[in-house]
Structure 1
Amino acid sequence: MAPLAHTLALLAMTLATVAIDEKQMDMAPNSFDDQYRGCGPDMTTVLPALNHSEFQKNPVFAEAWLKAVAEWQRNGSPVSPLSSSAQAIAVMAYSMKYVYRPFNDAVREAGSSPEEYRDNFHFKTLHFLLTQALVKLREDQNAQCRNVTRGVRDICFMAHHGQRVRFGHFTSTSLSKDVAKRYGTDTVFQVYTCHGVDIQAFSYDRRNREVLIPPYETFEVTKVTRKGTRQRSSSAPQGTTANTTVSGCEVTPQGTAWGMRTPAVAMGPLMAVLRGQALCTGRGWERPLGPLPPCRPRPGHHSPGSGHRDPLSHEATNVTAVTVATVANIITKTP
């Protein structure tokens, strides 16, 4: 099996004539990054009731969904290779301009606590459908890795070599550098992603050549360059990690309840990859909310992001680089 590597390159260009916010990149510890392994069928069962509830609580989502349905139908109502029309509409909704920003803002914080997810995260339906759609598309695309670009306006992202980072939300990128830079050049990410998938067939504007990266993919910065000082550096190999092990979850019309999380021994990312185990390096909550019926991954079936409602929950898998170093470049330009 060919080893896969994750690479990230960042170009931040600060313009003296524009007020640029500076943001430090990190592992997005509050991100809600579940992949619903072991809970997918149960979540699908309660989806109609959950969707109805969220339409009432979240008019932004409701309006965006209706517009996505209309656009999806106008494009011929494609479904294959996705599992349902709902998954296709979810991808369409995300690719339109109406909902992705509030959705991603919520995703970045919904993993901060069980209460935050349960009471304040009213995008449970969209998160579930979009996550399932990306997993299905990745399988159909043979888990292909891609070089993509993301342009950002008015934000200068800061990072240092050797740092592990995540976007922590669903992240739109493009196979075309020119297209990406139309969305901004204050920060330009050049990314080699192995979990991002091509969503062009279901996207609102196929000219964007969009590749969507899920919240759980981890990157390592290996090179830093600043204009003027021309600082450059490189980094060591890095795999993917997870910070909790989930023992169970309960699916209800309100979404998925939080299972007990037991920190595991931090063994190092490469060992975790080789052994097909989750690497747990963070904290977990000490009590479950409600009963915990069986809802676990099948034995030997590890997903690359299946920690239920816990920050940094993305299990190491046998498709992650083991002997090949993660290669990442960050280029920061300042006046």
Structure 2
Amino acid sequence: CSALEPSLIKVWFILPACLPVDLSPVIGSSPTHGTKMAVSPLDMASESIDDMFDGCRSATASAIDLFGVFEWQVNINFSYAWALVEKKAKKPVHKHLKDDHAVVMYIFTRYASIRQTFNKALKTGKDNYSTGRFRFHYFYYYLTDAVQALSKYPTSCRTVYHRTGERFDQNIVNTNVRFGAFIWASSSKQPSWSYNNISCFEIFTCFGGDITYYSSSKQRGQVLIPTYEVFKVTDIVTNDPWCRVVYKLQSTKTPRTDQNYTSFAHVNPTVKST
């Protein structure tokens, strides 16, 4: 692995007092009764971004500020959110974490609009990852690195729960799946940030990291599951008192990453490829 040259120092710019940005910490809601919902696939998310930076963490860390300089300028919501929460985020107390890790975890859990935009870009961003069209290299790197630092794998795994207002394919028992995005899960079936009950997940995760200390939410047992963790669907339960459809997932303990820095190393964030 080779780092991009040179590493740039973080550059801040003054944001106007009022910006046309949506940074409301909106909690998702279920569709109105009777609304016809599309069925989303639940598969190996082959078009998602899944870089683990395995073996290249130090090289990536020395290059990542280059992306931050440009992505802060093109992602106004992200830049504004960073300026708002930088002093609210907790100082890191875990080994290998620094202030930027803490800030991205706080932003992810605080602002639904950024979380949704970011996850959408991850789910379909495989071809964009090596181009300037993907505008979250900085955010993705620090969130991934934080989850890895906070994960206890291989010493322990844990069961967590996730609720969503989406509908998914139900003909997938005994198949392997990935979320292809960061999943904010909880040790409780009733997380404070989601009241949806269309599709719920009981997840035995081994690569998820406990972000409770750094989250904007005060609830205990918060876990962030990375894009690359692979799960086997062991059962699907319908009409459960907790949720309309409950998917039970078991980590295979073998992640899948199709990128792992090979694309990242050659990105020029200033060039927006067509």
Residues paired across the two proteins, number: 232
Q: Is the 8 A contact 1:50 1:253 kept in 2?
A: no
SS at 1:121 equivalent: coil
SS at 2:44 equivalent: coil
Q: CA deviation at 1:245?
A: 8.3
Q: Which residue of 2 aligns with 1:125?
A: 138
The runs of 5 or more residues in structure 1 that have no matched partner are 1-12, 228-233, 256-335
> What pairs with 1:205-244 in structure 2 (closer than 5 Å)?
205-207=217-219, 209-226=221-238, 240=254, 242=256
RMSD of aligned alpha carbons: 3.3
Rg larger in structure: 1
Q: Is the 8 A contact 2:204 2:249 kept in 1?
A: no
Deviations 1:154-176 (A, max 9, x none): x2122321111110111001111
Deviations 1:94-152 (A, max 9, x none): 111141111111111221x2x5541211100010011111111115x764311111111
In the alignment, the residues of structure 2 paired with residue 116 and residue 23 of structure 1 have an alpha-carbon distance, to the nearest angstrom, of 23
Out of 177-186 and 162-171, give the one that drifted further: 177-186
* Gap change, CA 1:84 and 1:78, over 3 Å in 2: closer
In the alignment, the residues of structure 2 paired with residue 182 and residue 245 of structure 1 have an alpha-carbon distance, to the nearest angstrom, of 31
Out of 79-88 and 185-194, give the one that drifted further: 79-88
Q: Is the 8 A contact 2:39 2:169 kept in 1?
A: yes
SS at 2:219 equivalent: helix
Normalising by structure 2, we get a TM-score of 0.73
> What pairs with 1:240-279 in structure 2 (closer than 5 Å)?
240=254, 242=256, 251=265, 254=268
Q: Which residue of 2 aligns with 1:158?
A: 169
Q: Which residue of 1 aligns with 2:99?
A: 85
SS at 1:224 equivalent: strand
Query: Letter of the aligned partner of 1:148 in structure 2?
Result: V
Give the fraction of aligned pairs with identical amino acids, expressed as a percent.
24
Q: Is the 8 A contact 1:174 1:180 kept in 2?
A: no
Q: Which residue of 1 aligns with 2:20?
A: none
Q: CA deviation at 1:184?
A: 0.7
**Of the two structures, which has the highest relative contact order with CA contacts closer than 8 Å and spacing of 6 or more?**
1
Normalising by structure 1, we get a TM-score of 0.61
SS at 1:105 equivalent: helix
The runs of 5 or more residues in structure 2 that have no matched partner are 1-29, 240-247, 270-274
The counterpart of 2:125, out of the listed 105, 110, 125, is 110
* Gap change, CA 1:37 and 1:181, over 3 Å in 2: closer
The counterpart of 1:100, out of the listed 110, 115, 122, is 115
SS at 2:104 equivalent: helix
